[in-house]
Structure 1
Amino acid sequence: MPELVYPPVIAAMLAAFRVLDLRITMSGAQHVPERGGAVLASNHVSYLDFIFCGLAARPSKRLVRFMAKREIFDHRVGGPLMRGMRHISVDRNAGMASYKAALEALKRGEVVGVFPEATISTSFTVKEFKTGSVRMASASEVPLVPMAVWGTQRLWTKGRKRSLGKRHVPVTILVGEPLRPARRDDQAQVSAELHSRISALVDKAQREYPDEPSGPDDRWWLPAHLGGTAPEPPEVAPAP
């Protein structure tokens, strides 16, 4: 089936990035396989993360089908675009249907994008993961590719006014070496390893980020442990 929507959307986004002179740095894109199914799993700090995560697949000439909440598909403008790009609607009250749709896409050799945290991390740290990405990769026996994005929260994130016209913002995209889970693998261990790898990529992106807050009021986009004013991450109960 011809791709009538996705390529023009990508072209429009790239043109917008050039106008804004976003300073996009990407590393590790060679880890996205050039053929066959794969799951891309990234941290989540912005409403725009899926756009930048998708850029990581361009060197491999792949299009990523992202799993996104149903409300986006219900939007009068966003909905037709999401469906045209063949992204996967997630209804949290009927999660099995979206899970099966993602499995079918993987079996067709598609690349599926997932944010294992499920929602944006307002602390800008890596939250606990849902198990869907690991279960899909294990069941399909496809590579599970860890990713990290950083800087996108400065453009549009939860609880902050959009700054889509902000110029010269650095955005970092890092792709790590794939995990290759099998059906018999312990999914809890695979999930822990995925969390560890994504956390390491986020730490690297934060350490090497080429910009700093312009003043005290601009520290909101940094996590508390880096001296920012983002909320502290919620306490996680220890395992029994």
Structure 2
Amino acid sequence: MTLYNVAKGMFRLQFKLMGWKIQGVENLPLEGPVILAINHVSMWDPVVAASSLPRPVRFMAKEELFSLPILGKLFRTLGAFPVKRGQGDMNAIRQSLAILKEGQVLGLFPEGKRSKTGTIQKGMPGMVLLMEKSKASIVPIKVNGTKHMFTKGWGKISVVIGKPLTSEMLKAPAGIDNRREWIADRIMQAVLDLQLPKAQ
């Protein structure tokens, strides 16, 4: 058993004790390349999202995290890789495409940084580039309750997994000046629209 699976099992147990809810697991394709588009409010978002899914996830994460003495090595061991934020990081793009070419799951936080208010921000068009180059589908995921998770998150943690979106489904209409930005907006809207059903 890999370290990834051991860590995932431990976190799943902890989150279940905290009243964790998951919906839409069946929407994740069980094979082939997939890009996850996840909202971002807490450092716990990748842990909660990955623990909710049946397939391992390779996360792109900000470069600064990998300079931390112990955590940096742990992130790499768990399959994460760095990206330089605020610039076109070709190494991160190449690594992302290599992961997708191998038929793996790539985890992205398209907002680029955590939302301080919890409101979903604009998505970066780089995810559209990766979708077009790899022919991977994009699965929107909404994570809730992860901010102040261990103090205020009991009974509030949830993950909603949406249906896959393909490049064929996300074609921009004629006359759009920035096609990738338009598509990125549609993807983030799909994330925003995800909701757990209200209790009866």
TM-score calculated relative to the size of structure 2 = 0.86
For residue 166 of structure 1, report the CA deviation from its aligned partner: 6.0
Counterpart check, 1:38 vs 2:24: no
The residue matched to 1:126 in structure 2 has which SS? coil
Give 1:196's match in structure 2, choosing from 169, 189, 200.
189
Preserved contact between residue 115 and residue 121 of structure 2 (Cα < 8 Å): yes
Q: CA RMSD in A?
A: 2.3
| Amino acid paired to 1:106 | L
Counting aligned pairs with the same residue, the percent is 27
Counterpart check, 1:178 vs 2:171: no
Give 2:9's match in structure 1, choosing from 6, 11, 15.
11
Give 1:133's match in structure 2, choosing from 127, 130, 149.
127
The residue matched to 2:107 in structure 1 has which SS? strand
Query: Which residue of 1 is the match for residue 180 of structure 2?
Result: 187
Task: Give the direction of change, closer, same or farther, for the CA distance of 1:56–1:15 in structure 2 (3 Å limit).
Answer: closer
Give 2:147's match in structure 1, choosing from 131, 153, 157.
153
| Unaligned runs of at least 5 residues, structure 1 | 156-163, 210-240
The residue matched to 2:147 in structure 1 has which SS? helix
Query: Which residue of 2 is the match for residue 26 of structure 1?
Result: 22
The residue matched to 1:40 in structure 2 has which SS? strand
Aligned counterparts of 2:151 and 2:51: Cα–Cα separation in 1 = 20
Aligned counterparts of 1:178 and 1:187: Cα–Cα separation in 2 = 18
The residue matched to 1:187 in structure 2 has which SS? helix
Render the CA deviation track for 1:140-198: whole Å, top value 9, x for unaligned.
Answer: 0111001101111132xxxxxxxx3667332110011111016x944233212102111
| Unaligned runs of at least 5 residues, structure 2 | 172-178
Counterpart check, 1:49 vs 2:48: no
Counterpart check, 1:71 vs 2:64: yes
- Computing the radius of gyration from Cα coordinates, the structure with the larger value is 1
Aligned counterparts of 2:153 and 2:57: Cα–Cα separation in 1 = 26
Preserved contact between residue 181 and residue 190 of structure 1 (Cα < 8 Å): no
Aligned counterparts of 1:138 and 1:148: Cα–Cα separation in 2 = 22
For residue 94 of structure 1, report the CA deviation from its aligned partner: 6.0
| Amino acid paired to 2:143 | V
Task: Give the direction of change, closer, same or farther, for the CA distance of 1:167–1:145 in structure 2 (3 Å limit).
Answer: closer
Aligned counterparts of 2:23 and 2:153: Cα–Cα separation in 1 = 22
Preserved contact between residue 67 and residue 90 of structure 1 (Cα < 8 Å): yes
Aligned residues: 191
The residue matched to 1:23 in structure 2 has which SS? coil
The residue matched to 1:39 in structure 2 has which SS? strand
The residue matched to 1:169 in structure 2 has which SS? coil
User: After TM superposition, what 4+ stretches of structure 1 lie above 4 angstroms from structure 2?
Assistant: none
For residue 11 of structure 1, report the CA deviation from its aligned partner: 2.0
Preserved contact between residue 11 and residue 51 of structure 2 (Cα < 8 Å): no
Preserved contact between residue 62 and residue 82 of structure 2 (Cα < 8 Å): yes
> Counterparts of 1:157-172 in structure 2 under 5 Å?
164=150, 168-172=154-158
